[in-house]
Structure 1
Amino acid sequence: MTDRRTELAANLARVEERIVSACAAARRAREEVTLIVVTKTYPASDVRLLAELGVRHVAENRDQDAAPKAADCSDLPLSWHFVGQLQTNKVRSVAGYAHVVQSVDRPKLVTALSAAAVNAGRELGVLVQIALDAESGERGARGGAAPEQLAGLAELVAGSPGLRIDGLMTVAPLAGPFAGRETAAFERLLELSSGLRVNHPAATMVSAGMSADLEQAVAAGATHVRVGTAVLGVRPRLG
C-alpha cells in the first residue's frame, strides 16, 4: 500500500506540474482549473489513497462499478462525477451518489434524472455533453448531443426539479471535422459555453481534456480536466 501511495503521489505531482505549466502558458491562474481523477476500473483503496493525497473530485463511467465504490468511500470528502454514457435504468442508482452527471445528452435522460433526484432528496449538477462529431443532430459515437441541441437541453435541465445546469462537457472526437484537432474542438466548446452563459450565467463549468490533451484544454479555457491514466496508470483490461 505504501508503494502504491508513493506511485500515486508521484503521478499526481507530474500531472500538477503539467497543469501549472499549461495555466502559465495560457496566462491563467492555477485556481481556475480543477483536476478530476477518473478512477474507473481501479479499487476503492486507490480512491482512499487519492483522498489522502488531496484529491477532491473523482469520476466514474460505469454505475455497476461506481455505486459500490462510492458507498465504500462515503466517509471521504469527495465529489463524484459520472462521465459515462448513462442508460435510464441506471439513473436511480447514479442519483444516489453522484454530485455531477457530466454526460447528459437527451431529453429522456433529463426527465429520468430529475425524477430520481427528487426521489432521493438531492440536487444534481448537470453538464450537457456535446459531441463535436454530431453536427447533423444525431448523437456522437461516444455519446453527446449535437451543438444545435444545447439550448433546448439546457432549458430543460434548468426547468427540471432536482437538477442544476452547471455547464458543458466534451470528449475530443475521433471522427468528423474536429478529429485530430483537439485545440480547435476545445475552442469550439468554449464558444458554446459563452453562448450558454447568456441565458444561464451560473453554468460556468467546462469539462474537457484528458491525460493526453489536458494542455490543449487548459489553453482553450477548460475549467475542469478529467485525468485517469496519467494518475493511476494503464488501465487493467475489462473482462
Structure 2
Amino acid sequence: MTDRKTELAANLATVEERISAACAAAGRKREEVTLIVVTKTYPASDVRLLAELGVRHVAENRDQEAAPKAAECADLPLIWHFVGQLQTNKVRSVCSYADVVQSVDRKRLVDALSGAAVGAARELGVLIQVALDVDSGERGQRGGVGPDGVGALAEAVAAADGLRLDGLMTVAPLAGPYADQPRAAFGRLMEISSGLRVAHPAANMVSAGMSSDLEEAVAAGATHVRVGTAVLGVRPRLR
C-alpha cells in the first residue's frame, strides 16, 4: 500500500507539473484549472489513497462499478463526476452518488435526471456533452450532441427541477473535421461555451482534455481536465 501511495504521489506530481506548465504557457493562473482523476477500473483503495494525497474530484464512467466504489468511499470529502454514456435505467443509481453528470446529450436523459434528483432531494450539476464529429444536433460517435443541438438542450436543463446547468464537456473526436486535432477541437468547444454563457452566465465549466492532450485543453481555456492513465497507470482490460 505504501508503494502504491508513493507511485500515485509521483504520478500526481508529474501531472501537476504538466498542468502548471500549460497554465504558465497560456498566461493562466494554476487555480483556473481543476484536475479530475478518472478512477474507472481501479479499486476503492486507490480512491482512498488519492484522497489522502489531496485529490478532491474523481470520475467514473460505468455505474455498475461506480456505485459500490462511491458507497465504499462515502466518508471521503470527494466530488464525484459521472463521465460515461448514461442509460436512463441507471439514472436513479447515478443520482445517488454523483455530484456532476458530464455526459448529458439528450432531452430524455435530462427528464430522467430531473426526476431522480427531485426524488432524492438533491441538486445535480449537469454538463452537456458536445460531439464535435457531427454538425447537426445528432449524437456523435462517442456520445454527445452536435453543436447545433446545444442551445435547446441547455434550455431544457436550465428549466428542469433538481438540475444545475454547469457548462460543457467534450472528448477529442476520432472522426470529422477535428480528428487528431485536439487543440482545434477544444478551441471550438470554447466558442460554443462563449455562446452558451450569453444566455446562461453561470454555465462556465468547460471539461476537456485527458492524459494525452491536457496541454491543448488548458491552452484552449478548459476549466477542468479529466486525467486517468497519467495518474493511475495503464488500465487493466475490462472483462
**Under a length normalisation based on structure 1, what TM-score does the superposition of the two structures give?**
0.99
In structure 2, the partner of 1:204 is 204
- Check conservation: 2:131, 2:170, Cα contact below 8 A: yes
**Residue type at the aligned position of 1:140:** G
In structure 2, the partner of 1:18 is 18
In structure 2, the partner of 1:185 is 185
**Residue type at the aligned position of 1:23:** C
Q: CA shift at 1:93, angstroms? A: 0.2
Q: How do 1:73-222 residues align onto structure 2 when only pairs under 5 Å count?
A: 73-222=73-222
Q: Deviating runs (4+, > 2 A) in structure 1?
A: none
- Check conservation: 2:138, 2:149, Cα contact below 8 A: no
**Residue type at the aligned position of 2:96:** G
In structure 2, the partner of 1:231 is 231
Q: How many residues align?
A: 239
Q: Per-residue CA shift, 1:1-23, capped at 9, x if unaligned?
A: 00000000000000000000000
**Residue type at the aligned position of 2:146:** A
Rounded Cα–Cα distance in structure 2 between residues aligned with 1:113 and 1:160: 9
Rounded Cα–Cα distance in structure 2 between residues aligned with 1:60 and 1:181: 25
**Residue type at the aligned position of 1:36:** I
In structure 1, the partner of 2:39 is 39
Rounded Cα–Cα distance in structure 2 between residues aligned with 1:101 and 1:78: 15
Rounded Cα–Cα distance in structure 2 between residues aligned with 1:95 and 1:138: 25
Rounded Cα–Cα distance in structure 2 between residues aligned with 1:55 and 1:97: 17
**Residue type at the aligned position of 1:220:** A
**Residue type at the aligned position of 1:68:** P
Unaligned runs of 5+ in 2: none
Q: Percent sequence identity over matched residues?
A: 79
Unaligned runs of 5+ in 1: none
**Residue type at the aligned position of 2:28:** R
Rounded Cα–Cα distance in structure 1 between residues aligned with 2:50 and 2:228: 12
SS of the counterpart of 1:167? strand
Rounded Cα–Cα distance in structure 2 between residues aligned with 1:209 and 1:201: 23
Q: Per-residue CA shift, 1:105-134, capped at 9, x if unaligned?
A: 000000000000000110000000000002
- Check conservation: 2:136, 2:149, Cα contact below 8 A: no
Rounded Cα–Cα distance in structure 1 between residues aligned with 2:138 and 2:198: 25
Rounded Cα–Cα distance in structure 2 between residues aligned with 1:85 and 1:159: 22
**Under a length normalisation based on structure 2, what TM-score does the superposition of the two structures give?**
0.99
Rounded Cα–Cα distance in structure 2 between residues aligned with 1:68 and 1:19: 31
- In terms of mean alpha carbon deviation, does 133-142 or 223-232 score higher? 133-142
Computed over aligned residues only, the root mean square deviation of the Cα atoms, in angstroms, reads: 0.4
SS of the counterpart of 2:80? strand
Rounded Cα–Cα distance in structure 1 between residues aligned with 2:84 and 2:53: 25
Q: CA shift at 1:138, angstroms? A: 1.9
- Check conservation: 2:168, 2:205, Cα contact below 8 A: yes
**Residue type at the aligned position of 2:17:** E
Rounded Cα–Cα distance in structure 2 between residues aligned with 1:186 and 1:78: 27
Q: Per-residue CA shift, 1:135-176, capped at 9, x if unaligned?
A: 133211110000010010000000000000000000000000
Rounded Cα–Cα distance in structure 1 between residues aligned with 2:113 and 2:166: 15
**Residue type at the aligned position of 1:150:** V
Rounded Cα–Cα distance in structure 2 between residues aligned with 1:142 and 1:120: 29
- Check conservation: 2:36, 2:59, Cα contact below 8 A: yes
SS of the counterpart of 2:126? strand
